[in-house]
Amino acid sequence: MKVTPQNIRVGTRSLPAQGGFLHAQSALTLLGLAFPADWASYARTHGLISPERDFGIGAEPTLSLPEFVRLGFEAQTPQARRWQKTAHKLLARMLAGDVRLSAEIAEASPDPQAGRWLHARLENQNARKLLMSTVARHGGSAEVYGQLGSISNASVLGMDSASLRRERGVKSTRDGLNTDELLRLSYLESATARAIEEHGLQGNAAILRLHRSVAAQERQTWQGVDSRSPTSRDSAPRLGGASRPAELSPQAG
C-alpha cells in the first residue's frame, strides 16, 4: 500500500511524520544525535513510548512531539543548542502575547480548517467581551454573567460547560468547540448585546429574558439551516449584520 507522505514543520525544517508522530531518525539527525543501533534499549533509557509507523519502507521508530521537545532540551549538540535558541524565542513571543505567532502556527498547520477555527475563536472572544461589557452598562450584576453563559451553552451545545470540558477533554470550554459552535455562540452573544442596547433594557431579569428569546430564535433558525444543508459539522454559518437570527445562512466548508 502506498504511504501518503506527511510533514511537520520544526523551525525552518520539515520532518517526515505519520499520524502526528515524527520519523525518529530524521528528528534525531536534526538535533545532531546519532540514530542508535539498538532502538529498543535507547527508547527504554529515554522513556520513549511512541509506536512505529510506516514511512514508505516498512515500520520505523517514531517520536511524539513532546518526546522530541524533551530530547531537544536535553541534548547538548551544536544543532540542539540552535534548536533550543529558536524554542526560547518562540516561548518568549508566546509569553509576550505576540498574536502573529498564532497566525504562523495556523498557517503551518496541516489542517486546512485551522485558520477558520482560529478566526472563529477570536471572534467568539470579542463577542463575549462585548456582551459582558454591555450587560455591565445596563445594570447587570453578580450571577447574571454565569446565567447568560449557561443559556448560551444549553442552546448551542446542548450541555453545560463542565460537561463539555469533560466530554471533549479540554480545560477551556471554547478550546473544545468546533467552528460551527464558536460562530453560533458569537452570533448569539453579539445579537443579544445589540438588542440590549436597542431596547435600552436594565437589570438582570430583563437581560435574561431577552437572551433566552434570542437563543430560541437562533436555535430554531440554525436547526432549519442544518436540516437543509449537507455541510459537515466543521462548516460554519456566514455571519452577516447579526441583527436577527434569520440572517444566518450556511457557508460551504
pLDDT, tens only, 169-214: 999 999 999 999 999 999 999 999 999 999 999 999 999 999 999 9
Strand-strand pairing, 236-238 and 249-251: antiparallel
Stronger pLDDT, 5 or 31, i.e. the higher one: 31
pLDDT of residue 241: 36
Q: Would you place residue 250 in the very low, low, confident or very high pLDDT band (cuts 50, 70, 90)?
A: very low
Q: What's the average model confidence in pLDDT over 204-228?
A: 90
What is the pLDDT, as a whole number, of residue 211? 97
* Distance separating alpha carbons of residues 235 and 35, to the nearest angstrom: 43
0.75 surpassed by pTM? no
Collect all residues with Cβ–Cβ distance below 8 Å to 8 and sequence separation of at least 6. Answer: 14, 15, 17, 20, 22, 65, 110
pLDDT level of residue 94 (50, 70, 90 thresholds): very high
Using only C-alpha atoms, what is the Rg of the chain?
24
Share of the chain above pLDDT 90, in %: 74
The mean per-residue pLDDT over the stretch 104-113 comes to 80
- pLDDT, tens digit, for every residue of 133-175? 999 999 999 899 999 999 999 999 999 999 999 999 999 999 9
- Supply the pLDDT for residue 72: 96
